[in-house]
A and B are shown apart, each in its own frame.
Chain A
Amino acid sequence: MEKVMSNKLVIALYVLPSLLLIMGIIYIPIVLTGYYGLNQWDGISKMVFIGLDNYKELVQDSAFWHSALHSLLLALFSGVSLIGYLGIAMVLSGKIKGANLLRKIYLVPMLLSSVAIAQLWLKIYHPTNGVLNSLLVSLGVDNPPSWLAEPSIVLIALFIPIIWQYAGFYILIYYAALKNIPESLMEAARIDGASPWQIATRIKLPLISEVIKVTVVLSVVGSLKYFDLIYVMTDGGPNGASEVMASYMYHKAFRSFDFGYGSAIGFFLLLICLVATFLIRKATASKETIQYS
């Protein structure tokens, strides 16, 4: 038994292909991103080592800090919306008829590609023929805004479809976690005279706190590296008003062919995501884990 299950050749055969793949596609590129960031390079001619110059430039680049601020705003917006999702999941996990069907309907946008969602919402926001402004005009609004062309509202106009896209995903996660709590705990609380509000805040919330932590990490890190929808809908415009870190990196690398500078941004993005994960985990680390089984 021992001998068969620790056969080195079999282990190597089973693990090495995948290991080499993630080394080649994930880990080596990460190291290279760090290295390219120390060079001046247009992707074609010879790399010139310039030390930390790209990073010094990055620190002084107001366009980059604007994009970082937008990413941060998205993270904040997504983080706050988690409260809403949690509320919906709480209601849904109660004794609601059709809860199963409802949570599936919520999930539909999540299944679609960002390109399809972006193109659809471009049409929804269309200044003259979009469904949103048609509706506003019929409600008596004379000059509805052109949502994606105005720097002051473009960000919020982009955040709404992002929320729309992911709502079902987070509701589903919370719902699954809430359904995992044994009914007997709630029964016991009810017998002791706890109100539904008390049951929600004193029993359900603490019991799913681990899952809440995971979703906070997912949503913050997801927001910090968000790209697709914004790239398709506004391409960072108008005039950088909706640029986020990942789109700024993409533009620097694949439009301005400044691969060195793009890599510096990419490496910075990686660090931010790792630090954010670490900080959230640290900040929410519970001293005791709650068991109910």
Chain B
Amino acid sequence: MRTEAAHSYPPLRQRSGVLLLRRSGYSLLYIALIAVAVIQVLPLVWLFIFSLKNNQEVFNMAPFAIPAHPHWSNYENVWSNGNIGQYFINSVWITAVSLALTVMLASFVTFAVTRMRWKSSSLVLGLFMVGLMIPVHSTLIPLFSMFNKLHLTDNPVSIILSYVAFNLPTTIMILLGFYYSLPKEVEEAAIIDGCSVNTMFFRIVLPMTSSVLATTAIINMIYNWNEFIFVNTFISSDHFKTLTVGVQNFIGQYTTDWGAIGATLMISILPILLVFLIMSERIVEGIAAGSVKG
């Protein structure tokens, strides 16, 4: 509700001038906002269009013209010719396992730090929070040599351990606020009823946090699905590569076939775009929560 009407206004004629100015300013701003939105999606629209063309059409038609007979076969070809299917499956299970582990471990830590009583809880929390500031690259060389010694290079375990460790701080940070706000009475009642800590955590607290768990899971999913440097460094065989690194290598072999490249890229980004279409509200919330609270 606007309250402007309730207050004193300048004379009528002057007011309509201001209104006109305000309205045209408003339209200009609106056009600018829409222009930014167009810039954000236009490259993707172009990607989709050239994924349906053959090279001749890419080079001779107008960039945004859709061919009369779209080459959906580009998608079939890249899916059946390369290892895209394998990469896709790897991405799915590595992403899923890492995010399940991260969310579970982060819940444990956050519960212990916020709800239980022990001396060094703030020190331990501090250790996790400092982790937010550490650049991945500064750990890369020792991690590589450590995993090498343990025979974990070219093994998905190295990737999963790295994902979980580097995602724990952000995940704990998102969970913290929620755990602090849980009412104390819940625990008191549970203990009076004779619950053990474990029962309380698994049966009462964890279900209560399900909405924020979904948020953290999505943030983890986006990060894991798109991660590049760990897989690129630790994994060498095609059998264990994920979609991001696989796509990079695949495109390296097909530098000249634009349709194939477009189709490959579309396959790699579609799952995330679909999840975004379905759960955009939660993703938007999670990204905002995950970054501001620090």
A124 to B40 Cα, complex, angstroms: 14
Contact A21 to B188, CB < 8 A, known contacts A11-B118, A107-B284: no
Q: How many A-B contacts are there with CB distance less than 8 Å?
A: 271
Residues of A within 8 A of B106 (CB): 18
- Against B, the Cβ 8 Å flags (1 = close, 0 = not) of A112-150 are 111110011101100011010011000000000000000
Residues of B within 8 A of A18 (CB): 105-106, 108-109, 128, 168
Residues of B within 8 A of A8 (CB): 118
- Tell me which of B69-77, B78-86, B208-216, B245-253 binds A: B245-253
Q: How far is the CB of A85 from chain B (nearest CB, A)?
A: 10
A270 to B117 Cα, complex, angstroms: 33
Residues facing B in A207-229 (CB within 8 A) are 211, 214-215, 218, 221, 224-225, 227-228
* Cβ–Cβ contact A36 & B109, under 8 A: no
Q: Decide yes or no whether B89 CB sits under 8 A from chain A.
A: no
24 inter-chain pairs at a CB distance below 8 angstroms, sorted by A residue, are: A5-B116, A10-B197, A15-B109, A15-B112, A18-B168, A21-B105, A26-B139, A29-B139, A30-B138, A32-B141, A33-B141, A36-B142, A91-B32, A108-B44, A113-B243, A113-B244, A115-B247, A120-B265, A135-B63, A164-B39, A191-B3, A263-B141, A263-B142, A269-B138
* Cβ–Cβ contact A33 & B138, under 8 A: yes
- Tell me which of A73-81, A151-159, A168-176, A283-291 binds B: A168-176
Interface residue from A6, A22, A103, A135 paired with B165 (Cβ < 8 Å): A22
Q: Decide yes or no whether B276 CB sits under 8 A from chain A.
A: yes
Q: How far is the CB of A218 from chain B (nearest CB, A)?
A: 7
Contact A25 to B124, CB < 8 A, known contacts A14-B112, A106-B36: no
Interface residue from B47, B127, B188, B197 paired with A22 (Cβ < 8 Å): B127
Residues of A within 8 A of B3 (CB): 187, 190-191
Interface residue from A6, A25, A221, A277 paired with B166 (Cβ < 8 Å): A25
How many chain B residues have a CB neighbour from A under 8 Å? 95
Q: How far is the CB of A278 from chain B (nearest CB, A)?
A: 10
A172 to B44 Cα, complex, angstroms: 20
Residues of B within 8 A of A121 (CB): 43
Spell out A's residues near B (CB within 8 Å).
Answer: 1-2, 4-8, 10-11, 13-15, 17-19, 21-22, 24-30, 32-33, 36, 43, 88, 91-92, 96, 102-116, 119-121, 123-124, 128-129, 131, 134-135, 164, 167-169, 172-173, 176-177, 187, 190-191, 211, 214-215, 218, 221, 224-225, 227-228, 232, 246, 249-250, 253-254, 259, 262-263, 266-267, 269-270, 273-274, 277
* Cβ–Cβ contact B40 & A4, under 8 A: no
Q: How far is the CB of A171 from chain B (nearest CB, A)?
A: 8
Q: Decide yes or no whether B178 CB sits under 8 A from chain A.
A: no
- Against A, the Cβ 8 Å flags (1 = close, 0 = not) of B194-210 are 00111001000000000
* Cβ–Cβ contact B33 & A91, under 8 A: yes
